[in-house]
Structure formats: structure tokens, C-alpha cells
Amino acid sequence: MKLINFLKFNKQFTFFLFLALVVIGVAIFAPFIAPMDPYEANMTKSLTAPGDIYIWGTDKLGRDVLSRVIYGTRTSLSMALYLVAVIFTIGTTLGIFAGYFGGIMDAIIMRIADMMISFPGLVLAIAIAGLLGPNMVNAVIAISAVSWTKYARLSRSMVLKIKKNLYIEAAIVSGTKTKNILWKYVVPNIITTMIVTAATDIGTMMLELAALSFLGFGAQAPTPEWGLMLNEGRTYLSKASWLMIYPGIAIVVVVIIFNMLGDSLRDILDPRQE
């Protein structure tokens, strides 16, 4: 009953949560939703315009664009969620250590973070992905290397404030182990803000992965991935515009959904709303 009342009271959050669940459902059940095999080529149907059989047309190899966009949801969303989980875990952990222990550990972590921030993020990610080799795993590693700094700096700033509270000093004086202090007092006080930050970053990370794939440093053919589909379709923009229109619409819609979901979650959990 409380959940129902919560959802009714927060209508914007409920609406975008429903849309996000629909997107996740499409990714999970892609094999059952897609009308055709996204990898099956048929050169006799190459660049077929949208119609009754191929609702969104076909690409240069005669593959069904609708099926590839549906399967692209699985690739793009799963890798974006994995990327957010990686930078959330690494950045938050390093930020907690830097803020709580201070000293040389804080100096080393923050100087590395400052060094990463001093470079344009996407440019550095392209350089790292180029060195590692073009594939989705290396794209995740490349973007993680330049994106964890935000989480580290945010968690560090919150930990520095929490350290000044009397209950932390009382725990230290009473002989509580450091790991227990971190788990019982520090993490619970920052986890909400960090989760909200991660939720709002899903759309951004999806865009960055799509950008690397578009530039040739992410997903490789024949993987159905939206950024790669845009790259493959740009050559035929004048005579087969649907090759870029539908993957582009998919990216825009999904990014908006997760950005709005993150904003709605932030509005609910923001202490200033109390």
C-alpha cells in the first residue's frame, strides 16, 4: 500500500520508471520481440525502403533495421549500465578512502583525478580506446578511466563533512574498527547521493559509448549497436536516411527517459525537499 501511495504521489518518477522498465524489457526479451534475425544478411533486399515487410527498412546488407535497433537496446543499455556500475564503484571507493584517511593517500588519489580532469574527457577516452583496441569492453575501460573522477571528488567532499560529526569521533574513541565506521556511518550517509548521481549518468554514459562506436572505437560489425549503426548509415544518408533516423531516435528517446528518471529520483531524495 505504501508503494502504491508513493507511486501515486510521485507521478513523474512513476511515469519515467515505467518507461525505463519498458526499455529494459525490450532489451531482455529482444529475441522474442524482434521480427527477424538481426544478423541475417540478404543482399537482394539491400537498402529496401520502409514498408510492409521491413517496417523500418533494411541496411546495406539487407538486414532488418527494426530488429537491429531492438537488439541494439540490449547492447547499448547493458554496456551503459555496466559502465555506470564500474565508475560508481571505483570512484566512490577511492573518494571514501581519500576523504577518510587523508594524508598521502588523499594527495595521490586527488592528484591522479586532477590529472585526468585536465584532459578533454572524450579525447582521452578515444586515445585510450585506440591503444587498447576497438571493442565494447575496451570502450568501457576507456570511458571509466576518465569518468570515475566525478564520483571520487563528490564522495570525498561528503566524507570530509561527515568526519567532523560527533558520532564519528565517538566511534573512534570507543575503539570501533575503521571498516565498521566506514560501513555503518560513512557509506549510509553518502550512498543516496551517489546512487542519484549514477542514475542521472546512465544516459550520458550511453551517449559516450555510442560516440566511441560511431568513431570506430567501440562496438564492431556485425554487432547491433546504435552508435555503430549510425556510423554504418552515414554513408547512405542521402538515399537511405532511415539507417540513421531510427537508431538516432532510439538513442534520443532512451537517453531522455533515463535522464528524466534520474532527475525525478533526485527530486524525491533531495534533502532540501523536506
Structure confidence by residue, pLDDT tens digits, 121-135: 788 888 888 888 888
- The verdict on pTM exceeding 0.75 is yes
- State residue 33's pLDDT score: 93
pLDDT in tens, 229-258: 999 998 888 888 999 999 999 999 999 999
Phi and psi torsions of 117, nearest 5°: -70, -25
Q: How many CA atoms lie within 13 A of 178 on its CB side?
A: 4
Mean pLDDT over the full length of the chain: 88
* Confidence band for 270, pLDDT divided at 50, 70 and 90: low
SS3 58: strand
Residue 209 neighbours by CB distance under 10 Å: 29
User: With contact defined as beta carbons under 8 Å apart, do 87 and 144 qualify?
Assistant: yes
Is the separation of the CB atoms in 116 and 145 below 8 Å?
yes
Query: Is 80 exceeded by the pLDDT of residue 5?
Result: no
How far apart are the C-alpha atoms of 89 and 81, rounded to whole Å?
12
Architecture of domain 64-269: Orthogonal Bundle (1.10)
Q: Are 196 and 266 in contact (CB under 8 A)?
A: yes
